[in-house]
Every structure is written in structure tokens, then in C-alpha cells.
A and B are shown apart, each in its own frame.
Chain A
Amino acid sequence: MAVTTPTTPSRTGNGMGLRFSGAWLPALVAIVTYLTLPFGRPGRPFLTIEPDLYALELGAPLLWIVLLGAVASFVLSLLRLNTAVRGDALIATGTVGLGAGVLWFILSATPFGIGALLTLAALALVLGHALSESGRIQGDAFIATSILVVSLFVILFIIYPLFTVLRAAVIIDGSFDLSQLRRTLTHPLFFFLDNPRSQIDEIGLTLRWGMVVAVLTGAWAVFRRRSVPIVALRLVLGGIAGLIIGVLLYGRGALPTSLLTVAIVAPTCTLLGLAFALLGQRARFKPIRRSLDVISVLPIITPPFILAFAMIFLLGRRGIVTHGLFDMSSNWIYGIPGVAIAQILAFTPIAYLLLRGSISSLNPALEEAAQTLGAGPWTTMRTITWPLVRPGLAAAFLLSMIESLADFGNPIILGGDRNYLATEVYLSLTGRFNPNEAAAYGVVLLALVLGAFFIQRLWLGGGSFVTVTGKPSSGALAPIPRVLEIALTLVLFVWTVFVAALYVSIVVGSFAQLWGVNYTFTTRHYEDFMRAGWPVFLYTARVAAISAVPAMLLGFLVAYLVSRHRFFGRRFVEFGSLLSFATPGTVMGVAYIFAFNTGPWLLTASATIIILALVFRNMPVAIRAAVAGLAQIDPSLEEASTMLRARSLTTLRRVLFPLLVNTLVTGLIFAFVSAMTAVSQVIFLVSPGNQLATVLLLGWVEQGQLGRAAAMGTILIVSMLFTILVVLGLAQRISARVVRVEG
């Protein structure tokens, strides 16, 4: 490594005379913070300055190495050496300093103090400079540091907490023990098929399903005149599929219940999403698109639990529709039907948003070309349209599947006598005092979600999860056939009426004396809300706002690095952000409790841990927005800027930011709104003085304070809708102006 790599941005080659490394400043900061600020802290408070917590007082040999690393880095960065050699040396000193510090915390399990935080962060910056100057990472110091910081965050706040869950599932009281995992997996709450007390023979019925489906698929293969091995294969696959259907239908317990619900919800959401996307993009009647835009934001602005209750009042045993209109008295809504309906209502708009991208990026010219070449409509559909829509459909399916598996609010209200995986995580931790069992359920959920991801990857043949987005193409789109349009419009109409009825009933409920019993007008629920809920609401808004900024910045950074740079660990960063997005909220919440309650990362019972949980939960939203935005910008703009010697931070600031204002603000708003309505990931993290609106809402719902809950729901919905409309409107204006000025 004696030769300076040409890609390093060091200026030794062009005689600009910058003889020392940029690492001198962070190294100096590391030394100063090491000497002046406490390294540990006594408990939760960060700002207590106690002399015996200073690194020098602690006197551990490892801490001397930290100081040594920092001083060595500082001296080295001022030496006139070959840039690459100096970079390598700085990598060594930085790593030694950082590693010693981290090791000390792991070994001593002392909560880290403000000094440690700053010192180690500064050493990470030294390392970033060093990696860039040595040419080990292709990019300038900013890129190198960003990669380092993002990877560190992914390890600390995503991988490490999940690892603790995994550990809690198999390590009980300090020793490796699979009994808890086994007990959970063989427990009737998790899964059982044969029920000796039932009149029906579950195993026999399941086997019959296996046989029937096997025979059907085999017969179909014979009919299509396939070769013998293929017929045999179809028989086996059909048999397996049939058995799975049987198990889902006759099995009881959380696993078959969750999976059966997914099997209903995910295809329905995908199909409805596709229908709405077709309608939105290709309908002749324009107002439809407007109403779809409103529908698509509803789920994220709707707080949990409330919609499920509105459903009970419309469709329950005494429901306005079921009992009032049709004089039914049945509990059908409790269980899989109710949960499935609630989830379809909530997740179809998400599928729609994804599919809107891929439908709008369909280039009609391709379909026309196929037809000109003599392909029939079905052949065109199969060979052109389907492969193009397939990634979008797969993404929509996967997303609705994950959301359905992770959903916690609907099953807990509407689950009836069926139990769900996501609620079992919560109930085993809070109801049965068994964190190990909660962890075991978490592992199952995680395995299901990741399994689905890898199947999707296999099916789509690679392709980045992050970059699955659509780029709208210009050009006239062929309208859909009139019959189809009328049918789809009808579906949309029924949907809209139903959703509108639900939201109206929430508002009505918030003004009724006793929702469901006594509909005399009152404002007392709003008075109660102002007294008991308003401070919490404001606090939640503050926390959500604080979390939205780093979520957006980090999301943008990840999107920029992943889509514009090739670097070692890129897949890892991608995988990490995938994990944070795919992990069900309750599992992540449990993980944060396990990970951040003791040792160096003592963060429980603070606003910090809530903010961190929200940042890493909502980061993927921002990543998606930023990737979509970046995809619209030609990389040649940045190349031009780089060629004019702008550093990447400058390019980011002067070129990309102005072009992406709109996207970034959208990402910011959605991160904020999602943080406001999040529940499952923060339910375990609230503490006195750090109460959140949605968790309070769950408390009210459990206590039967439905009027108050409806009042808070109404206020949340209205204020979030207002935020989205006003802020996004403003952002569009600003971005239009920026583009005019800069352009």
C-alpha cells in the first residue's frame, strides 16, 4: 500500500499542500472529552458529573488504551507521511482505541456516560477519515464515516437487540436450554391439530385434504401430458399443499390462526390494491384518483384499536348494521373473520401505494408491440404485463403479509377465542410473566417473516428489496375495459361507504354519552381527554417529531449509500434495514427491553429509548421514500458536481437535497405520523413521565373508557390529516421555488 490510490480524495497528489490528515480534529475531540467528561454514569441520569466516574479515576488498563489510541491518532494525523500509509496507521490506532473502549464497557457492564459517548463517537470519526484516506473505502471521509456510522447503528439498534431475543429464547438462567423453545412450540396455545374431544377427526380430514389436492394436481399434470417424474412431483407438491390447507383449517393455536389470517388477508389486500391501482391509473373518471389518495393515507393516520371498536359497533352482535338492519345476533365478528376484515381495511391502502408505482411504470408501448406482433390478450398478459407487475405484486403481498403477522391492535380487540402470534408475544410477557416464552414466539415470527422474504427473493431472482419501487413513465396509458372499470368502481364505492361509516361512527362515539348504549350528545369525553390525555398527546407529538428528523436523515443516508455507492458491507446495511422493517413491532419492543435495561446501554425508562425505537422503526419508511426520489434523479448530476471537485457532502447538500426537498419532507411527515400512531414497538418502553398517546389509548380501551378513546382517536385522525395536507402542500410549494431558483 505504498502508492496512493487514485480514488482517494487526499490532495497530496495535486500539491495543494494539505499535509495532515482530517482525523486530527476528531482525535483532539476524543482526547478532550476523555479528559473532561465522565466516562460512566451512576444510573439513568446522564448529566450527573461525579468525579469517580472519570476514565482516569476508573484506572482500568483498557481505558488507558482508549486514551493512547486517541493520542496516537492525533499525533499520527499531524505527521507528514504518505497518505495511504498514514491512513492504515490511523485505522490501527482508531480501531484499538474504539475496540478497547467497547470491550471495557462489555466487560465492566457500566452504563456509558456522556464522555464515553462523545469519545467513542469521535474515534469512529477518526476511523472514518482513516478508512477513506487509506483508500480502503472508496469515497471521501464523509462517505467512509457515514458507512461506518450506519453500520454501527444497524449493529447496535437492530441486530444486537434481535440477538438478545434469540438469546433469551434459548438461554435460560445463564445456560443453554432448548426446553422453553420446545415447550412453547408444542404448547396447545401455539399449535395443535388432533383434538380428542371434538366430534370431527382433524387428522383424518387433514389427510383427506392432502389426498384430494394431490390427486387433483396430479390429474391436471396427466391431463396436460406431462412426463412421469413431473406428474410424481406435482402429486407430492399437491399433497403438501393440501396438508397445509388442512392444518390451517382444522388446526388451532396461534400458528395456524395467524397463518390462516395471512392466507386470507395478503391475497385479498394484493388483489384489492391491484384493482385500486388499475382504477387510479387508468380510469376515465378522474375524481376516483383523488378519493384513492385520501384512502391511501387513512391507515397510517388511524390510531390502533379504534377502528376495531368501530367495527364492533357496526357489525357486532348488537351492531347497527348486523343487528339493526338485518336483525342478526351472532358473534361471527370475533375471531378470524373480524380480524381479517379489519386487517384488509388497514393494509389494502399500503398494497395500493406499492402497486400504484409498478402499474404507473408499465410502459404501454410494450403491450402494444406484443399485440402488433400477433399476441392475443392472454399471451400479452402472461408474457409482458405479468412479469412487469410481478415484483410489485410480490412486494405488496409480502408487505401485507408482514403487516398482518405483526398486527397487534386488531387481534387483541377482535380475536375472540382465537389467539395470534403477535398478541401471544405481548400476553406471554405481560400475562404469564415469561420473557423466555415471549422470546420464543418472537423467534417464530421472525423466522416466518424472513422465510417469506427469502422465498420472495428466490421467486424474483435477486433484486434489491430497497430498490423495488416504480418509476412512473410518461406516455398515454390505455384505459381499462369499460366493464372492468365499472366493476372496480363498484368495489371502490362499497369500500368507501364502509370506511366512511366506520370513521363517522368513531366521531359519533366520541360525542355520545356511552358509545353503543346511550347516544345523548355530550362533550365530556373531550373534557376528559383535555384533562387526562392532552399532556400525553403533546409529549407524544414532541417525541414523534424528535424521532422523525433522525429517521429521515438516516433513511436518506442509507438510501443514498445503498443506491449510489458500492462498498463492503452494503448488503449488510441493506439486510439490517430490512430486518428493522420486517420485525414485528412487539418483538422489537421486547428486544429493546432485553437489550437496553442493563449494562452499558442502560436506557430503559427514558425518552431516549422510545425515540431510538421509533427512529429505527420508521427509518425504512424514509429509505423507501428517498430511494424512490433518488431513482428519479440522473446520477450524472452528481458526477458533474464531483468532477468540479465538490466533496460528497457538498454534492449532497447543494445538488441532491434541493432536488429532493419534496421527497424528504414527505419522508419526514410520514415518519412523524407513523411515530404518532405506533403502538406495538413502544408498548413496553413507556415509563412514568414518558407516556405515549397510543399506549394510553390501549389503557382506556381496556378500562372501557371508549368515549375518551374515541375522542383521542378523532383528535389524532384530524390533526394527522391536517399535518399531512398542510405540510405536504407547503413542501410542494417550497420545492417548486427551490427548483426554480437553483435550476
Chain B
Amino acid sequence: MKRLTLVLVAAAALFLSHAQAQRVNLLCSPDLAWCEALGPAFTEATGIPLEFIRVSSQDALARIRAESANPVFDVWFGGTGDPHLIAMRDGVAEMYIPSTWDDIIPELKSVINEEYIPLYAGAIGFVINEEALGDLPLPRSWRDLTDPMYRGLIAMPDPTSSGTAYTTLATLLQVFGEEDGWELVEGIHMNVAQYTSSGSAPGQLAGRGEVAIAIQFMHDGVKFAAQGFPLTVFAPEEGVGYEIGGISLIANAPNRDAAIEFIEWALTPEAQAIAGDLGDSYQIQSNMNTVQHPLAPNFDEINLIEYDFDRWGDPAVRDQVLTRWLNDVFAIPR
């Protein structure tokens, strides 16, 4: 029994985890390549080590909320704006005004009422595999997508699990108004082959020819095209909505000082250039001094709508839209 006591003591030692020195625990929502490139560059610039986990923006918000009593993460980097907004309003993230605040593109700040820090912007668009489309004409507009000839050729993310798809729904409802908007959503639904759980998956399906048309963020389409998939990327003519990715300081962050240092660094032009140079990410970066990557979709050439972030980012509206989509659209058999 003495030996057993010793064994138990040893087993208890298994429970021990190491005490942690100051470092940044990053919850990273954009492309993995971007997340991977951040750590080495940040450590080189500041000497502070960085650990990250890549999770989708929805997943990130869920984790931050679940852990709000004892936060693990310090900074939430990237991902669609809506969840950042919710995190701010819930108090699980806190607003920090960086020293680069005045360099951030003013429009990006104003449309979101300066409720969180804009990190980048990206627009919704069509990502098309012309090979898989065969003899069919290229769809140019949202309305084209409802044509029965595209039946089974469209992929888009599932709005209940992806912020990208919710932005798409909100775009259609804003461009066409509630009534026509829902009719259009229904028409597109009849042609959709697959709703994916991840926002960037439709482009991969299109790239491999599993579908011909993907509805998703244009910068993700550009990325897949750059990787070698046979894809064309453009915005439909009626206009498109966009996202403003955020960067947020987690409330009660365990390494608050390092977190602030990271946010400061992440908004510099040098750090933002990493996205396109090393990170396969072609969003418009939020600092106006950042040299935008040549592949980044140029917002001047895109018909951007006046996206009402305050209204469509509201969790109650979101809930209403998603419920209606589930009950009245998703339920229609194809």
C-alpha cells in the first residue's frame, strides 16, 4: 500500500501543467497561412512568443463566451465583423484604441460605428469554374443564379454555421428588398447542390469541379485561383455586400500587455503586408498606408452596396433571418 500511495502521488504529478510566462495566445480566424506567418514575424519584431489556434469566427466567439470566466486567449485576430461586434456588445471583448487609429481607412471605421477595430475588408462574389460550367453561359448577376439551367451547379456556405453565407443573405435582402430578396434566395436555393459548413469550402468544391459556381468572399476565390484551381472571380452586377474583419482584445486577457503590443503591431503597414505576401490572403487591409496586394479585389471596381452593419449585425435580426431561411427556404426540397 505504501507503494500505491507513492503511485498516487506520482499520478497527481501528471495533473501539473507548467506555469506560463508572458506570451500572446491568439485566436486566429483568417486563412491558416496568414495565421502561421504572424507568429514568427511578431516574435521577431517584439521578442514576445505567440501561440495560436485557428478557428472560424463563429467558433471563436463561442469559445470566448464559453471561457469568459477564465479567458485563455488574449487577442482575437480576424474573422467576420458581426461576431466581433457581438463580442464587444456582450462585454467578452474590450475596445482598445490603437495608436494607429487615425491611419485606419475612415469609411471602415464609420460604417461599423467604431465599435471594434477594423482589420480588413472583403466583398462577396461569384467564384466560377468555367470548365465545369461546360456550354452554359457565365452567370453575371444574382438573378442569373435562379435560372433552372444552373440546377445542381451552385455551392454556398450554410447560413446557420457560416458568417459568409449570412452576409450573402443580408446582401440579397438589402439589394432587392425583403420581398424580392427572399424570392431570389428561394430561387438560388433550388439550384444549390450543397451547403457547406465552412465559409471557404464552396470555392474548393468549384475548384475541383464538384460544382461550377461558388458564392463566397472574393478574396478566398482569388486565393484558390492562385493555388492553381481553374477559377474566375468577379462580383455580380446588382452589387455585393462586404465584411469588415476585426481584431479584438479579449476582456480580462491573461497577458494583457503582450496582447496590446500585438494589436499595435498587427495594425502597422508592415504587419498587414504579411497577409498577401506570406499568408495567401487578399483582403483589403485596413491601414491606409499598407500597400495593397496586386491580387486583392479592387473595391473601386466593385459595385459595393451600402451595407447596414448596425441592423444586419444585430443578433435579433440575424436570428430572425436564419429562422426564416431554415423554415421557409432550406425546407424546400430540391
Residues of A within 8 A of B (CB): 22, 25-26, 29, 43-48, 114, 117-118, 121-122, 125, 129, 141-142, 145, 187-189, 192, 195, 197-198, 252, 312, 316-318, 331, 334, 412, 416-417, 423, 427, 429-433, 435, 513-514, 516-518, 532, 546, 550, 593, 597-598, 602, 604-608, 611, 649, 684, 686-689, 691, 699-700, 702-706
B197 at the interface (CB under 8 A from A): yes
Contact across chains for B51 and A427 when beta carbons are under 8 A apart: no
- Chain B's nearest CB lies how many Å from the CB of A704? 4
Q: Can you name 18 A-B pairs with beta carbons within 8 Å? A: A44-B20, A142-B4, A331-B210, A412-B197, A417-B192, A423-B197, A427-B197, A429-B62, A430-B58, A430-B59, A431-B160, A433-B58, A435-B66, A513-B228, A597-B66, A598-B70, A704-B201, A704-B203
CB proximity of B23 to chain A, nearest CB, Å: 8
Chain B positions near chain A (C-beta within 8 angstroms): 1-2, 4-5, 8-9, 11-12, 14-20, 25-26, 31-32, 36, 51-56, 58-59, 61-63, 65-67, 69-70, 72-73, 86, 132, 152, 158, 160-162, 192-195, 197-198, 200-201, 203-204, 207-211, 224, 227-230, 254, 322, 326-327, 330-334
CA distance A389 to B242 in the complex (A): 61
Asked whether A45 lies within 8 Å of B20 as measured between CB atoms, the reply is yes
- Minimum Cβ distance to chain A for residue B235 (Å): 21
Q: Is the CB of B161 within 8 A of A432?
A: yes
Instruction: Verify B8–A121 contact, CB threshold 8 A.
Output: yes
- A546 to B1: give the CA distance in the assembly, Å: 24
* Distance from B320 Cβ to chain A, minimum over Cβ atoms (Å): 14
Which residue of B has the minimal Cβ distance to A432?
Answer: B160
Contacts A516-B207, A608-B15 known; list 14 others, CB within 8 Å.
A25-B2, A29-B5, A44-B70, A197-B332, A198-B333, A427-B160, A431-B160, A432-B58, A516-B208, A605-B70, A688-B25, A699-B55, A704-B200, A704-B224
A430 and B62 contact, CB distance less than 8 A = yes
- Residues of A with C-beta under 8 A to B227: 514, 704
Indicate whether A688 sits within 8 Å of B73 (C-beta atoms), given known contacts A430-B56, A517-B207, A699-B54.
Answer: yes
B67 and A604: CB pair below 8 A? Answer: yes
A108 to chain B, nearest CB (A): 15
| B32 lies within 8 A of A700 (CB) | yes
- Which residues of chain A come closer than 8 Å to B160, judged between CB atoms? 189, 427, 431-432
Among A48, A125, A431, A593, find the residue whose CB has the most chain B CB atoms closer than 10 A.
A431
In the docked arrangement, what's the CA distance between A308 and B132, Å? 22
**Number of residue pairs across A and B with beta carbons under 8 Å?**
196
Which residue of B11, B26, B56 is within 8 Å of A550 (Cβ)? Answer: B11
Determine if A118 and B12 form an interchain contact, defined as CB atoms under 8 angstroms apart: yes
A188–B326 touching, CB < 8 Å = yes
The 10 closest A-B pairs by CB, nearest first: A431-B161, A688-B51, A605-B72, A430-B59, A45-B19, A318-B209, A704-B204, A688-B25, A516-B208, A702-B198
When the two chains form their complex, are residues A189 and B326 in contact, meaning their CB atoms are under 8 A apart? yes
**Are A688's CB and B72's CB within 8 A?**
yes
Among A47, A118, A195, A429, the residue within 8 A (CB) of B18 is: A47
Q: A45 CB to closest chain B CB, in angstroms?
A: 4
Bound Cα distance A416, B208 (Å): 16
Which residues in A have their C-beta under 8 angstroms from that of B70? 43-44, 597-598, 602, 604-605
In the docked arrangement, what's the CA distance between A432 and B18, Å? 34
Query: Is the Cβ of B16 less than 8 Å from the Cβ of A114?
Result: yes
B161 pairs with A195, CB closer than 8 A: no
B256 to chain A, nearest CB (A): 14
Beta-carbon contact of B193 and A334 below 8 Å = yes
CB within 8 Å for A316 and B67 given contacts A125-B5, A433-B62, A687-B53: no
Q: A431-B160, A516-B208, A593-B66 are in contact. Are A125 and B17 (CB under 8 A)?
A: no
CA distance in complex: A699, B53 (Å): 9
Q: What CA separation (Å) do A517 and B228 show in the bound complex?
A: 8
Distance in Å: Cβ of B244 to nearest Cβ of chain A: 20
- Nearest A residue (CB) for B36: A532
Q: How far is the CA of A29 from the CA of B2 in the complex (A)?
A: 11
Docked complex Cα distance between A655 and B229 (Å): 63
Which chain A residues border B204 with CB–CB below 8 Å?
704, 706
Shortest C-beta distance, B72 to chain A (Å), equals 4
User: In the complex where A117-B15, A532-B36, A702-B201 touch, is A605 in contact with B194 (Cβ < 8 A)?
Assistant: no
How far is it, in angstroms, between the C-alpha of A593 and the C-alpha of B67 when the chains are bound? Answer: 9
Query: Are B72 and A518 in contact (CB-based, < 8 A)?
Result: no
Q: Which residue of A lies closest to B70 (CB)?
A: A602
Cα distance A340–B207 in the bound complex, in angstroms = 25
B225 CB → nearest A CB, Å: 11
Residues of B within 8 A of A431 (CB): 58-59, 158, 160-162, 197
